[in-house]
Each structure stands twice: as structure tokens, then as C-alpha cells.
Structure 1
Amino acid sequence: MTTHPTTGLTGPALTTTVSVKPLSLSAPQRGADLHVRITAPTTGTSLPVVLFAHGFGSNLDGYAPLADHWASGGFVVIQATHLDSKRIALAAGDPRRPHLWRYRVQDMRRILDELTTLEKAVPGLAGRMDPSRIVAAGHSFGGQTAGILVGLRVTDPHTNTAEDLSDTRVMASIQLATAGKGGEELTPFAHDNLPWLRDQDFSHITAPGLVVAGDKDDLPLTTRGPVWTTDPYTLSHGNKSLLTVHGGEHFLGGISGYQVAETTDENPDRVALVQQVTLAYLRHVTGTDHTDWHHAQTRLAGGHPLGRLESK
């Protein structure tokens, strides 16, 4: 066990990792093969899995500060490049654009269906994953994707129906800087350009979950300000926790990559906080170890300069 000098939080001794990309899965219904990256510890067996969805426009190479940390802490991290990625660059009139949110969920299901194939494609990983312990995680648009896998219902703007697209293979979720409910709280820009945010129902989410929100995450998508991103915590049910990152903007100090230009609030200590709390939660919710999570709950109950952790 180690203690971070700034956050004061404890964590496991970190191990070496290996990352393999791109692994390609055939996916005719999306019009392009699904490219996947897997990052895993070089040792250990019965390794739990984190299925991670990137934010709008990113790709499988993003979010290294999280993927590397989780893998070095004992998890197999699987990332895909979704159709909204700038690497794919769908044309403005592409008929898939209005359904990007749905294609993302299909991508995740495709990965879950092919876990054995993907495991065998990574040298030394075969037989070391535990498919009974899978956590869905995501940032921003990816947080919605993770939420849908555990019960979030999104009203399809074309059919005006909200299907249950949850997957029983996913046991819990981590949603980072994720959109809240829609309706009149959306700005005209969000209403017109992100129709999948118009009506989100969190009430069906009962699986355990951790929500991470920055208290300075003032997005141009809502009239409510930063509190909007706490909706996945306040409006869902079951065993939930909320990490509020003090001073955190949308990229929570820089979780989307090392020294990336899109980070407006670059702060290594904030990133360390998110890394350590999310890893502690992953170890807790998968039953690996509860010590670091309980320590974080005590340490971040109030008065910590970097953040606050609460649960319900």
C-alpha cells in the first residue's frame, strides 16, 4: 500500500502493464470495423474488466491517465473508437449521426460479446480475465454510454420511445463529468445539436455507481451550471457515490490525456485525486479490496482541499 503525498489517499502498489492496439472487430451494422485497445497488468489472474467509453470526438488512445492507472492497479481496461471520433470524421449529412448515442451502446455490446476473442488477441492475457466482474465507465458523452448499460433510459428523438438497453453483464458504473437530465434545462444549442440529451431518465439505474463532477464544470449545454453533472447521482437509485472535484472543469484537471490542449484546468493533483478515488472504487465494487475506498470516504468526507466524497 502507498500513500499519495498530495491527496493523502492510499492505494495499492502499482504493477507494470501492456497495451495492445488496434484490435479489430467486424461490425457491419455500423459501417466500419470497431477498433479496440486493451491495457492490462502483466501479472495476476481473475482480473476484473473496465469497459471505457471516450468523450465526444476522442478515440481509443485517449484517457491514458485513467487507463494506465486502472490497469496498473489490477484491471483490464478496454477502450474503443466510437463513430463520433474525429479520426472517423463522419460527414455532416451522414445518416448515422443522429444515432451516435445508440451506436456507442452497440459498440460496447459487441465488445462484451467478443471478450474471449479479444482476450486471446493480447499476448499473455488469455485465461486471466474475469468476465463476471465488468464495470462500465465513461467521460462526458461516454458517461451517458456507461449509464445506459446500467439502466439509463434515453428517449430516442426519432421514435419518441425510451428503451431499456441495459446489459446484465455490467455490474456497476463510473460516470465522469456526465450530462444531467434534459428538458427545459438544455440550452438551444444542446437541444438542436445533441438531441439524445433532450430526455434522460435516471430513475431506472439501480446498479452501484460512482459519479465524478467538477464544481466549475460550466458547460454550454445547460442553464443549471455545474450542478447539472451531479444528476446521475441525485436522480438514480441504489448504492451511489459522488466525488465532487473542487475547481474541476470538464476535463477534471486533465484526465483525457497527458498535456492535451483541450484541458482548461490542468492540475496534476486533481488528476491524482480522480485516479485514486476511481481505482479505490473499482477495487471496492468488484470485491477486490475495500480498504482504500473506506479510507477515501473518511479522508474526503469534508474539508479536503481537492474534493468531497459522499454516498447514499
Structure 2
Amino acid sequence: MTIRSRFLCVAALLGIIAPTDAMAAGPVCDGIWHDAVRDRDVPVRIRMPDGDGRAPLILFSHGLGGSLDGGTLWAQAWANAGFIVIHLQHPGSDRSLLRSGDGLRMLRQMRSGGGIGDTFRAAMSPEQLDARVRDVKFVLDQIPTRRSEGACALTRIDLAHVGMSGHSFGAHTTQALAGQVFAKTGATTIEPRITASIAFSPSPPRGGSDAQAMVKVAKPFFSITGTADTTPALPDVTAADRERPFRAMPPGDKYLLVLKDATHADFSGNAGGFRQRGPSDHVAAAVIDTTIAFWRWTLSGDRAAKAALDDPKALAARLAVGDRLEHK
């Protein structure tokens, strides 16, 4: 069974979406939005659902060395389910890192277990995280000032219901916008316009206690990881460490999905990435199913979707032996 077919069967079974409105999406539009304050270009890719009505917005932030292709698999499913998705590309921590000889050498070094070099280390700096956070805030500021981007009508965006998501460094970006407190400064960059968040491969706090770092994450938050979720870029971060943000967050509308044997690359949502293949059908279907339920509940007020997400009897339909879906 294909990913598409399995998604439709499971989604219909759980009542998350009706078979008649599944897999219908509108135009995809690329643009470059210029932040005059920072003299910085921010590439965006906009995915529209079918129709002309207003719809909630989901933002996606790629991982280190990524591009607008990051999150494609997830974003296609979310747009098909009725959400508008905007991918952001972050200059300084995007695919430009891989274009230089130094960047390619560092990539080969990481793949062989040699650790991270200066080029990649600099791209993971607090300054780059701050730039990413500002990119997201800039895009949210821009939406009300722009009527369209190509064939994509930005006037359809419902800014009262905004989701934030990202993979790896994009997950770190998502955590920062959700209210993570950083030990060195005691500061937070929380974005009040964001209603709910999904972090693929969350990052454990660096310095200070986990509880202090996560104490201000109050809105719904979904952490997604796997038992093989490690990366040479962060050799000291284990797969178990990816669960720490969820464990430390205050209770109330917090979820954790752990998929057995799923790797760091499985969650990028980019089948055209470093390894040139996507996640297994099971991983893809489990992620698509649970994230759509989460977005339908948090962004569309669908209580049936929340009930499906919370119902232990539904776990067999979405998870395999060794997978875990927790909430608190």
C-alpha cells in the first residue's frame, strides 16, 4: 500500500478527514521577501489548499544545510488537508553551506564520524538561531501587507490560527518561538501569534535545567522523534535526549511521538535530501496522521481530532510495535 493510500485509510478510520476532501491542494508559489531592516532576503515557498476560503497557516523551518524543500512530505499532506503552509529558507544556515569546498569537506567528515567542522559549527550559533527566529517574525509581519505571491492569495491566510513547525535546527527554532528560555541570557523569543507547534527531532536544552528552559512553553506542543534519531552534527545528543523537551514542559496539551528505528533524516520531510530517499511508509503515515489530527484540533478547533489523538484504542491503527504516543 502506498503512503497516500494508507494515509487515506487511517484518516478516514479515525474520522480526522473525510475521504471526499482528502488530497486536494491548490497552487505552490515561490518568492523572496526582503527584510529592509536587516537587509536580508528570506526565500519562501507557499502551499495553498484547494478552494478560495480562509485557512489556518503553518510555517516550516528547515534543518541545518536545508532549503525550501525541507518538510515537503509533511507540507503536502497538510495543504491537502486544508491548511496553508509557508516554508522558510534561512540564509546562513541553509544549503549555501554545502556549496563551498569547505562545506562539502565538512559534510564528508561528519558522515564518516569525524565530527562537525568550523563551517557547520558557526551555522549553528546563537546568532544564527536569532536570525531564524527573526525570519519567522518577519514573515508573519509581512503577510498582512501582501495580497498575493504569484497564484497564491495571501488574503486567504487566517492569522488568528498559526502553527509553527521545523526539523532539527528548525525544531530548535520552533522551541525558541514557543517560549524556550536560554540559560546564558535568561531570555525568551516567544511569538504570541503562534497557536501551536510541532518539533521534528527536538533539541535538548544546552546549559541550565531542562525544567527552567521549558517552563514558559504553555501552548500546545507536539514533539516527534525516533529511537535512532541521532546526527553526526551533534554527536553528543542521543535519541533519548530528543525526548527531554517534552519531559520538561509543563503539563497541558503536550504530546510526544517516538517511532521505533526512525532516524534523524526520516523527519526532514525531504526525500531529495542527503540520502535521496524518504522515510518508510509506516513512519510517513504515522507522522502525517498524527500531525493532521494535532493541527485540526489546535488550529481548526476540531474536538473529534483531539479525541482521536488521545484515544488509546486508536493507537493500533497508527502505530507499530515499539512506537509510543504520549501526552500530558
Question: Do they superpose with TM above 0.5?
Answer: yes
Structure 1 segment 23-172 matched on structure 2, within 5 A? 23-28=31-36, 30-83=38-91, 84-87=93-96, 97=123, 98=125, 99-123=127-151, 125-155=153-183, 160-172=184-196
Q: Taking structure 1 as reference, are residues 59 and 3 closer, same or farther at Cα in structure 2, changes over 3 Å only?
A: closer
The answer to whether the 8 Å contact 1:154/1:163 transfers is yes
Take 2:134 and 2:15, find their aligned partners in 1: how far apart are those partners? 36
Q: 1:264 to 1:286 in 2, by over 3 A?
A: same
Distance in 2 between residues matched to 1:148 and 1:281, nearest whole Å: 20
Contact 1:3 1:10 in 2 (8 A): no
CA distance in 2, matches of 1:222, 1:134: 33
- Pick one of 255, 260, 274 that aligns with 1:241: 255
The offset of 1:264, in angstroms, is 8.0
Q: Secondary structure at the match of 2:326?
A: strand
Q: Distance in 2 between matches of 1:126 and 1:256?
A: 24
Q: Measured at CA, do residues 161 and 259 of structure 1 come closer, stay the same or move farther in structure 2, by a change above 3 Å?
A: closer
Q: Name the CA shift for 1:10/1:272 in 2 (closer, same or farther; >3 Å).
A: farther
Instruction: Give the counterpart letter for 1:213 in structure 2.
Output: T
Q: CA deviation digits over 1:211-254, x for unaligned, max 9?
A: 111112134436462111112211112320111112111123x6
What SS does the aligned partner of 1:61 have?
coil
| Structure 2 unaligned blocks of 5 or more | 1-5, 103-117
- 1:112-170 CA-partner distances (Å, limit 9, x unpaired): 10012345224352432110000111111101111111101234xxxx41322111111
Q: Which has the higher helix share?
A: 2
Cα distance change, pair 103–199 in 1 and its aligned pair in 2 (3 A): farther
Instruction: Give aligned-pair identity as a percent.
Output: 24
1:242-261 maps to which residues of 2 (within 5 A)?
242-252=256-266, 255-258=268-271, 260-261=273-274
Unmatched tracts of structure 1, length 5 or more? 186-197
1:31 Cα deviation (Å)? 4.7
- Distance, in Å, in 2 between the alignment partners of 1:48 and 1:141 is 24
Once the two structures are overlaid, the 10-residue window that deviates more, 8-17 or 102-111, is 8-17
Contact kept, 8 Å, 1:280 with 1:293, in 2: the verdict is yes
Distance 1:239 1:303, change over 3 A: closer
Deviations 1:171-228 (A, max 9, x none): 111011111122499xxxxxxxxxxxx9981222111111111112134436462111
Secondary structure of 1:34 counterpart = strand
Q: Contact conserved, 1:119 with 1:126, CA < 8 A, in 2?
A: yes
RMSD value, Cα: 3.2
Would you say the 8 A contact 1:37–1:60 is kept in 2?
yes
Report matched runs for 1:165-204 at 5 Å: 165-183=189-207, 201-204=213-216
CA distance in 2, matches of 1:214, 1:263: 19
From the superposition, tell whether residues 174 and 139 of structure 1 become closer, same or farther in structure 2 (CA, over 3 Å): same
Q: Secondary structure at the match of 2:261?
A: coil
Deviation at 1:294, TM superposition (A): 2.3
Seen in structure 2, the aligned counterparts of structure 1 residues 57 and 10 have a Cα distance that, compared at 3 Å, is farther
Instruction: Go from structure 1 to structure 2 and tell me whether the alpha carbon gap of 1:45 and 1:262 turns closer, same or farther (over 3 Å shift).
Output: same
Does residue 1:14 correspond to 2:23, yes or no?
A: yes
Q: TM-score, normalised by structure 2?
A: 0.78
Cα distance in 2 for partners of 1:138, 1:243 equals 15
Q: Secondary structure at the match of 2:67?
A: coil
Give the CA deviation at 1:109: 0.6
SS of 2:179's partner is coil
Instruction: Tell which has more relative contact order, 1 or 2 (C-alpha 8 A, sep 6+).
Output: 2
- Sort the Cα spacing of 1:63 and 1:42 in 2 relative to 1 into closer, same or farther, 3 A: same
Equivalences, count: 292
